[in-house]
Structure 1
Amino acid sequence: MARQHYQRLSPADIDEIWRRLRAGHSAKPTARALGMPTSTVRTYLVRCGGIKPEPRQRAAGRLSLEEREEISRGLAAGQSLRAIAAGLGRSPSTITREVASNGGRSRYRATAADQAAWARSMRPKVCKLATNPVLAGIVAEKLQCRWSPRQIAGWLKLTYPDDPGMHVSHESIYRTLFVQSRGALNKELTAYLRTGRVIRRSHGIRVPDGRGSRPGIVNISERPAEVADRAVPGHWEGDLVFGRQMSPVATLVERSTRFLILVGLPGGNHKADAVADALAAAVQHLPTHLAKSLTWDQGHEMAAHRRFSSETGIDVYFCDPKSPWQRGSNENTNGLLRQYLPRRLDFRTLTQDDLDAIALELNERPRQTLGFKTPSQALGEVLR
């Protein structure tokens, strides 16, 4: 017997799918729990763009099925439309239009009239980007520059402060991308999003990587208070990002300006001595007031942190185990970097010039946390 690859979802199935997605489950375990093929759940999610459809509701003031049944009974009893309207507390014109649009006195049927009204209510509301081609063109252009919808929305408000018609929320951009019935942005533009996904997916909880503590380190709890409040520039967060066949690139992010430096590791060597040498070479030209501290996780690649501090004068602090959020600026930037450095790419094929070009493009992208200034602008203000 052939395996069934699709089955119709009941309202209860749909409610359970969204409940599990909100709890952090993916499509596969959700489908397994419901006893249905994974393709059934994924097809449904792609069709609605990963965004839960709003439940259909009868608009206030519209005739209900019960009222239509009263109209039908009144017509059968030979009552006038005005008398029926008075009995329902409705305007006579409302009842007149209802009867006229559903076959007249002789052919009016309550159930058929209600079903027709329900079908007409499905007309989709036209989204803002569909009615403003200039705005849609700007949004599409910025998406192709790999700006996030939130960055685009914030930039539009700064660029057109006195023109609300040129403002659009980031949620509207996401919905227009993922729900193609809106018809304003091509679905191919989702390839320029950081994740490259074709459906909206809520943020989940990251699974800890299980790395333990290292001896001879200075814990983040001993870091000066000025680092935590980001008021003083010169404090950095760092990490390695890996490509195909464990090819690494080091990332350094300045906490107050979010300015990024990418550091290539020759030959993909990420042993402690090689990482210390590469990082020391990368920061040697920084002004003294921009080279104060570095926060890293507890990976083996920073085992030579004492030598790095001795050569650069930069104090190194280490996060608690399984606590990547303690260097959140770096984690966020590493996520943005995946648009340029996907895991399938062998980073050893890239030169330092390639990495510098990627860093420059990211440093020229507006950031919400900077009031939609770019990291380059924020760093320029610090240097001035």
Structure 2
Amino acid sequence: MKQRRRIYYSAAQRAEIWDRWKAGESMSSIGRRFDRESSPVFSVLSPTGGIRPPDWKRASQALSLVEREEISSGLNTRCSLRGIARMLGRSPSTISREVLRNGGPDRYRAARSDQTAWDRALRPKRCKVACRPGLARTVSNKLRRNWSPEQIACWLKRTWPGELHNQMSHEIIYRSLFIQIRGVLKKELLEHLRARRTLRRSRRATLKRNGLGRIKDAVSVSERPASVEDCEVKCHWEGDLIGGSRNSYVATLVERRSRYVMLVSLERRSTITPLIGKLSGSGVPARPGRRGF
């Protein structure tokens, strides 16, 4: 079995993916931008549930990689810690702690020390749901009863007024559901959400924005003439489309006065299919008094 080659995105590409996802683009559209399928894009979005992770930035007072390289170079030339501190304009205690926590003067390496500093800075704060198991059970039970996160948040606020430790916003509930790496609310609870999505979508994400999901050249019902209201004029037809299994489609035509029904088999639904020449099919008169579609 041939293994698929793993696709890696650069930091700039990941930033562009998140920008496009926030702007409301679909995963297929984002994948086409990089000449790839939607599955690699999903692998970028899914770990955080479609919620953009915060950008990690180095604090202004923290040691930079360039400074750590200067420390490593000074240690190799047997320069004292105070001399390195004067050269970098840092406190000697800062240089001393940096060297001691990363193996000492003989084992200090700049790149490894810098990566260790980034890893040490990752101290994720546990969310409120994780810190209060009883509150997590209450939220889970409400979700299983098909309560929305907004309803749960309002219920908690009314049940425990003034007790902030027993309240939470609906955003915390959504994040606990979508970001599964928190390990708080089970993934099966996503099925009880109204939209039943596994990723957080942007508010701008809609098919109608790009013209999809709309009827082309549609005429509003309010623009119909008044003569169609009483069904007394002959040759006024109403049409509808019925979709079946295996991409089969049938158009229904109903004469509004006589209730005469005609069924027309169509080859597809993506384009306007000509009905002329197909109307010779069998017409089935509808039951007396039956209304149109």
The TM-score with structure 2 as length reference comes to: 0.65
CA apart distance, 1:211: 5.0
2:114 equivalent in structure 1: 114
| Counterpart contact for 1:153–1:167, Cα < 8 Å | yes
**Over residues 34-56 of structure 1, what are the superposed CA-to-partner deviations in whole Å (9 max), with x where a residue is unaligned?**
21122212233223311112122
2:105 aligned counterpart, secondary structure: helix
Aligned residue identity for 1:213: V
Report the Cα distance in structure 2 between the residues aligned to 1:164 and 1:117, rounded to whole angstroms. 35
**Mean CA deviation greater in 45-54 or 84-93:** 84-93
| Counterpart contact for 1:5–1:40, Cα < 8 Å | no
| Counterpart contact for 2:81–2:95, Cα < 8 Å | yes
Report the Cα distance in structure 2 between the residues aligned to 1:103 and 1:5, rounded to whole angstroms. 37
1:54 equivalent in structure 2: 54
**Mean CA deviation greater in 66-75 or 188-197:** 66-75
Q: Is 1:184–2:192 an aligned residue pair?
A: no
Q: Is 1:29–2:29 an aligned residue pair?
A: yes
1:212 equivalent in structure 2: 220
| Counterpart contact for 1:144–1:189, Cα < 8 Å | yes
CA apart distance, 1:200: 0.8
1:320 equivalent in structure 2: none
The TM-score with structure 1 as length reference comes to: 0.51
Report the Cα distance in structure 2 between the residues aligned to 1:59 and 1:153, rounded to whole angstroms. 35
User: CA 1:91 to 1:38, structure 2 compared with 1: closer, same or farther past 3 Å?
Assistant: same
CA RMSD of superposed structures (Å)? 2.9
Q: Which has the larger radius of gyration?
A: 2
Report the Cα distance in structure 1 between the residues aligned to 2:41 and 2:21, rounded to whole angstroms. 11
Aligned residue identity for 1:33: R
CA apart distance, 1:112: 1.9
2:117 aligned counterpart, secondary structure: helix
| Counterpart contact for 2:24–2:201, Cα < 8 Å | no
Report the Cα distance in structure 1 between the residues aligned to 2:152 and 2:55, rounded to whole angstroms. 29
What does 1:344-363 correspond to in 2, within 5 Å?
A: none
2:147 aligned counterpart, secondary structure: coil
1:42 equivalent in structure 2: 42
Q: Is 1:139–2:139 an aligned residue pair?
A: yes
1:53 aligned counterpart, secondary structure: coil
| Counterpart contact for 1:5–1:39, Cα < 8 Å | no
Report the Cα distance in structure 1 between the residues aligned to 2:12 and 2:53, rounded to whole angstroms. 14
1:105 aligned counterpart, secondary structure: coil
Aligned residue identity for 1:102: N
User: CA 1:151 to 1:91, structure 2 compared with 1: closer, same or farther past 3 Å?
Assistant: farther
Q: Is 1:73–2:81 an aligned residue pair?
A: no
Q: Is 1:95–2:95 an aligned residue pair?
A: yes
Aligned residue identity for 1:110: A
User: CA 1:149 to 1:91, structure 2 compared with 1: closer, same or farther past 3 Å?
Assistant: farther
| Counterpart contact for 1:6–1:37, Cα < 8 Å | no
2:195 equivalent in structure 1: 195
Aligned residue identity for 1:194: R
**Over residues 153-207 of structure 1, what are the superposed CA-to-partner deviations in whole Å (9 max), with x where a residue is unaligned?**
2332232222221222222211111111111111111111101111111233463
Report the Cα distance in structure 2 between the residues aligned to 1:125 and 1:65, rounded to whole angstroms. 26
Aligned residue identity for 1:190: L
Aligned residue identity for 1:49: G
2:261 equivalent in structure 1: none
CA apart distance, 1:12: 2.9
Report the Cα distance in structure 1 between the residues aligned to 2:113 and 2:190, rounded to whole angstroms. 41
1:165 equivalent in structure 2: 165
Aligned residue identity for 2:220: G
User: CA 1:22 to 1:63, structure 2 compared with 1: closer, same or farther past 3 Å?
Assistant: same
| Counterpart contact for 1:31–1:41, Cα < 8 Å | yes
What does 1:245-264 correspond to in 2, within 5 Å?
A: none
**Over residues 224-255 of structure 1, what are the superposed CA-to-partner deviations in whole Å (9 max), with x where a residue is unaligned?**
xxxxxxxxxxxxxxxxxxxx989xxxxxxxxx
Aligned residue identity for 2:186: N
| Counterpart contact for 2:27–2:41, Cα < 8 Å | yes
**Over residues 61-108 of structure 1, what are the superposed CA-to-partner deviations in whole Å (9 max), with x where a residue is unaligned?**
322112222322333344433443354444433322211111111221
1:230 equivalent in structure 2: none
Report the Cα distance in structure 1 between the residues aligned to 2:124 and 2:56, rounded to whole angstroms. 12
Report the Cα distance in structure 2 between the residues aligned to 1:160 and 1:94, rounded to whole angstroms. 48
1:149 equivalent in structure 2: 149
Report the Cα distance in structure 2 between the residues aligned to 1:49 and 1:175, rounded to whole angstroms. 8
Report the Cα distance in structure 2 between the residues aligned to 1:93 and 1:153, rounded to whole angstroms. 48
**Over residues 106-144 of structure 1, what are the superposed CA-to-partner deviations in whole Å (9 max), with x where a residue is unaligned?**
221222211221233334332221111122112112211
Report the Cα distance in structure 2 between the residues aligned to 1:59 and 1:122, rounded to whole angstroms. 13
Tell me the number of residue pairs that the alignment of Structure 1 and Structure 2 aligns: 220
| Counterpart contact for 2:23–2:202, Cα < 8 Å | no
| Counterpart contact for 2:47–2:181, Cα < 8 Å | no
Q: What are structure 1's unaligned runs of at least 5 residues?
A: 218-243, 247-271, 273-384
Over the matched positions of the two proteins, sequence identity in percent amounts to 46
